Structure formats: structure tokens, C-alpha cells
Structure 1
Amino acid sequence: MKFIDLLRTAIGNTFRSKARTILTVIAIFIGSFTLTLTSGIGTGVNDYIDKTVAAFGNENALFVQKVSEQSAPGSSEQDGPTEYNPDETNVQLGFGSVSGLTDSDIDKIEKIDGVGSVDPMYMVTPKYLEAPGGKKFKLSLGSPPEADGLQLESGEAPERGKDEILLPASWVEPLGLGSNQDAVGKTVKIALGNAVDQDRTFTVKVSGVAQASLAGSSDNPIPSAGLNKKLYDYQVSGSPRKVPNSYFTATATVDDMSKVGAIKSQLSDEDMLGRTVEDQLGMFRAVINGIVWILNSFAIIALLAAGFGIVNTLLMSVQERTREIGLMKALGMSGGKVFGLFSLEAIFIGFLGSAIGAGVAVAAGSILSGVLSNGLLSSLPGLSLFLFNPVNIALIILSVMFIAFLAGTIPAMRAARQDPITALRYE
């Protein structure tokens, strides 16, 4: 009896008891369906995270902040007040203040081996943004390095030396700029006060329109590095004495990312903290992967339960076909081929349940992903909540078939050990 004959016979025998087979297939279907869906969620979210990495800057960027013993309300683990340091500068934020980087700190960062350029983040607080029609809007500016690599609806990122700004897609219509494409090249005004509260407006050109992102980096208009510096210089002008520069953070470009560990260590020695893009997204990625693994554990439990169903189905099949097994062995079929026949039945049941489960999961996930992308997740263009990798789906199906094979070994071995004379006498 050739392999193809064994396979054909095994498939035919699987449907002898349709009710038992269908119930076992349903149990496998549930596990396979869940595994495929959770795998799709993990792949889809992680793929979007990878795309969003660019919203924080380029992959060689290291974001540096000053380490503060008491940075913001509720953030300190130290009991009691922190001793005043006259050399320490502070940056005021909406929730309090944090220790800022000084020009001396910027010089120290630039001197670290492996660090290329260093761009400090100037904290600019404009009064408002004026649309072409004269309507005014509250304005908070993003950081120029965030514009590098953002996914754009139209136009391009602001050029470093030009008075340009990148607008979020959600700002285009309220500002009366027409479509995303029409907005590119138009001008808006930014009003800013200096140290003695003298207001001045700066006319800037819209360089492009950015998509929304998981990072949230494109929620605010982002100026070019040159414009940001120009606004900051005016903001601190007019004071009778020179105000020391203070920066919330700085973006350092690392020439060789293999040296990033040593660079972080040197920054730590100088009471500074360096974080890469992966560091910033690592916790979010870990949470998503943790949720996926929890859901996968339930699917695996369902598959193990289905394995016992396969054992039960085939044991009953062996008992019902005892005389048939005896006849096959009496006619010369070896114990190995009898084992193979029942093992193939188990594998086919596993294939049937896993293939149907994976297929339905892909169809359901694709439909649901499309619905969510046009509805609840429409503010995050480019996010496919379910993204199915053919390799992962194939691995799920093969894994389920292997579990089914292991479950089928007990009844298959029992069938292979049947004595033909005793089996033929079985009533």
C-alpha cells in the first residue's frame, strides 16, 4: 500500500463518523482561529510601530535630557525638598518644571566619541497662529527633529534653513487652507512675545502636511530648525541682562549605533539621560506583545483540549474497526503502515480544523481591519490592526498538525499492535 493510498484511505476514514469528526474539528478551529487573529494583531501593531519610529527622528537619533532629582510634581522618589543648585537651569512645562540642558551640557555631548551633530530643543511658546483669513488659533510647536521621516499627506518636511512649518492634517481645514495639496506653499503667521512683552509676527510657509501617528509627534505644527531658533532668539530678546539658554532636550546623531551603550554611559556620568527611538517605544511594544501572548495562551489551551478530542475520536475508531484492522494485517499490512494510517487520520483532522480556522480568521480580520481603518482608527492612517504574515499562518497550521499527530500516536500504536487473529474474532 503506497503513501498516496494510505492518505486517500485516511481521508475517507475520517468522515466515517461525521459527528465526532466535526466536533473535534470545531475544537481545533477555535484554537487555530484565535492563534491566527492574535498573530495578526501582533504583526499589524508591531509593523505600525516600526513605521512610526521615524516620527521620533531618524534611527540614529539619541534623545538627551538632564537627569533631575526633582523634575515635576509627583515624579520624585526622594522624601523632602531638593537642595538648590544655582548652576542648574529649569524649563517650565505645563505640569511643572524640569532641569534643562545648558550650553555647557551641549558642548559635553558634542565631545563624546561617536556623537555627530547635536540639535538642542528650543522651548518656544507662541501666542497664536493666524490663518490667511485672519482667524487666530492657539499654538504649541513640535520639535524640528520629529519632522524627519514623518509620513506625509502632501509636500515635504521643512528645510532646516528656511522659515517653513509642517502642519498636521487635522489643522488644514480649520485654517481654511483647502485640501492637503492646496495647503502646501501657502503662508500663515506666528505671533510671539519677547522678554518685555513686545509682540511680533513671523510669516512662515507651509512646507507640507503630516499624517497622524501613534507617536503623536505630528499632533502639533513642526517648524524648521532655523525657524525654531529664530523664534527662540526673539522670545529671549529685550531682557536687560542675558538669559542663560536652557533646553528641555537635545537630539544627538550617533555615527555608529553599536557604540550607543558607551555613549549612554558617558551621558550618565554627566547626569544626563540618553534614549533611542527603540527605548521610547520599547514599553509600548512590550505591552502589545504581552497581551498577544496572553491571548495565545488561551488558544493553546483550546488546542490541547482539542488534542484530547482527537485521542477520543481515534480510540473509538480503533475499537469500531478492530475486525477491519485484523483483516488488513492478515492480508499482509505491516504494523508500521497501520500506525501510519491512523496517524494520517489524526494529522488530516488537525489540518482540516487549522486550515479552516486560519482561513476564517484571515477573512474576518481583513474585513474588521478595513472597517476599523475607516472608522474608529481613521485618525491613524497606515495602521492595519490585523496584518497576516503567510509564514506565520503556515507555522500555525503546521504546529496544529504536529499536535494532532502527537495526540494520534496513542490510538495509532494501539491499532498497530493488534493481533490479527484476535482482532478477526472481535465481536
Structure 2
Amino acid sequence: MRSVDVARTALGNTFRSKLRTALTVVAIVIGSFTLTLTSGLGAGVNKYVDNVVAGFGGSSQMFVMSTGASDAEPTDGPAEYDPEAAASTGGMFGPGSGGGVLTDSDIETIEQIENVSAVDPMVFVSPDYLETPDGSQYDMDLDVPANALGLELEAGEAPGEDGMELSIPSDWLSIFDTEDAEEVLGETVSIGISDVTGQQSTVEAEIVGVSEEALSGIGATPMPSRELNQELNDLSMEGYQGQAENAFAMAVLDVDDIEANEQGVKDALLEEDLLGLTVEDQIGAVQGVIDAVAWVLSGFGLIALLAASFGIVNTLLMSVQERTREIGLMKALGMSSGKVFGLFSMEAVVIGILGSVIGVVLGLGAGLAGNAWLTGEGGPLGAVAGLTLFAVDPLAILGITALIVFIAFLAGTLPAARAAKKDPIEALRYE
């Protein structure tokens, strides 16, 4: 009997007892479905995390900030501007700014650290207010332009390098008396900023984008173009006498051979009360938790597959028992023990393929449908910009299918070996 004939015969024999085979396949489907779903969830959320931090730079970069920096509490939309309150919050770098920033001397110190090849400081500016076309004024903080690549946009585009451009969060649409993000694109607003003497200046900027807040916090505050950011910084520095230092929110370092020198650079920064973080530092903890949860859920799928493997063993053992005389006849007609073993092993593989394919298809369908419902417009998680809960990983799908088929093959070896060892004369006498 040729191999093709063995495969054809195995396929036909699999459905001799339809109910028994169907129940075994269902057990495999459950395990395959669970593994596909958990694999897609892990891939989807990790993909989202990767996209969120994509705007922070490459793997050879390190981000440095002062250990004294503090994060502002989030608010729902902008508060109306109060000139008296703003005048009382001036910092050492001018009204509206605070401590916890990098200075020129910090940048010079960083440049001297061994294995640091380049330092790109990000200018820190803190405007007093944003004034809408109707003359209303609102308190304002700015994100740094370097985060523009991480923006999730509801409308328009991210501010570029040149031009007086600005993006605003979607929850700021209310100050323009609209809910349509497209309507505010092209609007001109005025930004007020004070220098060290308390003298206020204004800069006009065009709104080019409306952002949605990501889990990282990017998009929760207005973001300027680099040119606008620099212009505001220059205005805030007017009035300084002598050796005034600039204020930088953070600095981006290029580190030579970061894999070998990462810890050394971090230690040198800590000695200067500075904190250095790589992209991996920022996403590693989050992805570690996600992967751990995915592995735990995958464990339930593996348990279901283990149970299914016993079902395969039981199904094929019963099949061997019922077909004892048939096995004897095949061997009497010259079929080798190896061919008999292959025949029953192939039946196990067929059951594994059926269960894995059905389970993978159901898992992909449920995952993609659930992702569209949960993260789509109007869904429970639709407000989280760019969120992906489920993603198709072809390699993972192939791996799951191969694993299930391999488990099915192993489960079928015991019944197949028993069938191959049967003596043809004794088998023909079996009643």
C-alpha cells in the first residue's frame, strides 16, 4: 500500500464512528481555540505597547531626566486662565516653570560621560494660557515635540519641525464650542507666555491636529512644533541677566554599543542625580506582565489538549479492538507492521488537524470580532486611542497547529503500536 493510499484509508477510517471522533475533535478544538485566543491577545496588546513607545526613539537611545521631576495630575479639559494664580507659581526659570528640569550644566555633564556620543536636549516651556478666537483664555501645559511620533490623531496631523503649529487634545474641543475635530483644524490661537520679569508676550499658532490620549499619556496635552516650542522658549528667557541657564524637560542620548555600556552610563547619570531610561526599560515591565498573563491563560489551553490526547488514545484503542480481524487480513495480504503503524498514526494526525484547524479559525474569528467591538467607535474601550487587543501572528498560529498535530501523533503511537504488533493468524481468529 502506497503512502497516498495509507492517508486516504486513514481519512475514511477516522469517520467510521462519527460521534466518537466528533467528541474527541471537540476537546482538541477547545484547546486550540484557547491557545489561539491567548496568543492573539498577547500579540495585540504587545503591539499596542510597541506603537505607543515608537515615538520615544531607537534602541540605541537613552532618555535622561532629573530625579526631581514630577508628573502633573490629569484634568478633564483646560481650566480657565487666572492671571493672579499664574503669577504666584513662577519657578527659577520664569513664571509657570518649576524645578525638576535639566540645565545647561547638566547637559555639559552628560556630554562628558563615557560612551555617550550625542546629546539632544528637549527645551522645556510652560506657557501661561491659550486664547481662543473668541478671546477666552485657558491654562495650558505643553508636551515636548519629540513625542509627536507617538500621537494618536482623531483628525489632522502631528505638528512638524517648522511652522507655528499646534495639536490639541480631543477633550479641548469644548472650548471651541464643537464636538467635530475637523472644525478646529486651521483655527488660529494665541499662546501667552511670561519671561523672568513677568512681562507677557503672545505667539500665534495654527491648530493642525486633534489628538486622543494614549495609555502612555501622550496626546493628553497640547503639543507644539519644534519651531513653536523654540520660539516660546526664547520669549520665556528674555530678561535674564548674566549667565542664565536654559531649562530642558529631558535629553535624548545616543549611546555607543548600548548593550555593553547601558549600565555604565546609567550609573554615571545616577551619580549626577539624573535618571536614564532605555526604550526597553519603559516597555519591559508592561510587556512582562502581559506575557505572564498570556502564558497563564495558555496553560488552560494546554490542559484541554492534554485531556484531548487521552481522548485520542481511547478512540484509537477502541478502533483497534473493533478492527482486529481487519488488521489481521491486511497483514495476511502482505501489509507490513510499519504500514499498519502508519495507518493508525495517520488517523490520529487527521483528528489533530481537524481539531486544530477548526479551533484556530474559531479563535481568530472570536478574537477579531471581539477586538472590533471592544475598541471600535462606541465600544467599551473605544476611547483608548490606537488600542489593539487582538492581533494575528502567523508564526504563532503555525506553531499552535504544529504543536497540536504533534500531540495527536504522540497520543496515537500507543494504539498504532498495539495494532502493528498483532499476529495476523490470531487476529483473523478474533471474534
Aligned-pair distance for 1:239? 7.8
The 5-angstrom pairing of residues 222-237 of structure 1 reads: 222-232=223-233, 234-235=235-236
Gaps of 5+ in 2: 72-90
Kept in 2, the 8 Å contact 1:311–1:411? The answer is yes
Query: 2:375 — aligned with what?
Result: 373
Q: In the alignment, which residue of structure 1 is the partner of 2:50? A: 50
- The alpha-carbon distance between structure 1 residues 380 and 204, as it changes in their structure 2 partners (threshold 3 A), is same
Q: % of aligned pairs identical?
A: 48
CA distance in 2 between partners of 1:162 and 1:398 (Å): 55
CA 41–343 in structure 1, closer or farther in 2 if over 3 Å, else same? same
- Residues 276-328 of structure 1, C-alpha deviations (whole Å, 9 max, x = no match): 22221111111111111111111111111111111111111111211221121
CA distance in 2, matches of 1:118, 1:271: 18
Q: C-alpha distance in 2, partners of 1:120/1:9?
A: 71
Q: Does 1:4 align with 2:8?
A: no
SS of 2:219's equivalent? Answer: helix
Q: CA deviation at 1:146?
A: 0.8
8 Å CA contact 1:191–1:200 kept in 2: the answer is: yes
Q: Of the candidates 411, 416, 422, which is equivalent to residue 418 of structure 1?
A: 422
Q: For structure 1, which segment, 412-421 or 102-111, has the greater mean C-alpha deviation from structure 2 after superposition?
A: 102-111
Give the drift of 1:343.
Answer: 0.4
Q: Give the TM-score of the pair, scaled to structure 2.
A: 0.83
Aligned to 1:353: 355
Letter in 2 for 1:142: D
Question: Which whole-Å CA distance do the structure 2 matches of 1:210 and 1:238 have between them?
Answer: 34
Alignment-derived partner of residue 401 in structure 1: 405
Q: Distance in 2 between matches of 1:183 and 1:71?
A: 31
Q: Distance in 1 between matches of 2:172 and 2:62?
A: 29
| TM alignment of 1:15-164, pairs within 5 A | 15-57=15-57, 61-67=61-67, 99-112=100-113, 113-122=115-124, 124=126, 126-148=127-149, 150-160=151-161, 162-164=163-165
What CA distance in whole angstroms lies between the structure 1 residues aligned with 2:92 and 2:59?
Answer: 28
Shift of 1:61: 4.0
Quick one: which amino acid aligns to residue 384 of structure 1? T
1:389 to 389, 393, 417: 393
Deviation readout 1:232-264 (Å, 9 max, x if unpaired) = 455566689987655453233457656762543
Q: Take 2:211 and 2:334, find their aligned partners in 1: how far apart are those partners?
A: 74
- Checking the alignment, whether the CA contact within 8 Å between 2:122 and 2:144 is kept in structure 1 is no
For the structure 1 residues 145 and 259, does the alpha-carbon distance in structure 2 shift closer, same or farther, using more than 3 Å as the test? Answer: farther
Structure 1 counterpart of 2:312, from 310, 313, 330: 310
Report deviation, 1:122: 1.5
Write out per-residue CA displacement over residues 60-84 of structure 1, whole angstroms, 9 at most, x where no aligned residue: 542102346x989xxxxxxxxxxxx
1:121–1:281 CA distance, 2 compared to 1 (3 A): farther
| 3-state SS of 1:378 partner | coil
CA contact (8 A) 2:328 2:426 kept: yes
The code of the aligned residue for 1:62 comes to: M
**8 A Cα contact 2:56 2:146, kept in partner:** yes
Correspondence for 1:250: 251
How far off is 1:154 after superposition?
Answer: 4.9
Amino acid at match of 1:223: P
> CA distance change for structure 1 residues 385 and 332 in 2, over 3 Å: closer, same or farther?
same
- The number of aligned residues is 406
Q: What residue in structure 2 maps to residue 205 of structure 1?
A: 206
Q: CA deviation at 1:349?
A: 0.8
Instruction: Give the corresponding residue for 1:78.
Output: none
Asked if the contact 1:194–1:236 (Cα under 8 Å) also holds between the matched residues in 2, the reply is yes
Q: Residue 79 of structure 1 corresponds to which residue in structure 2?
A: none
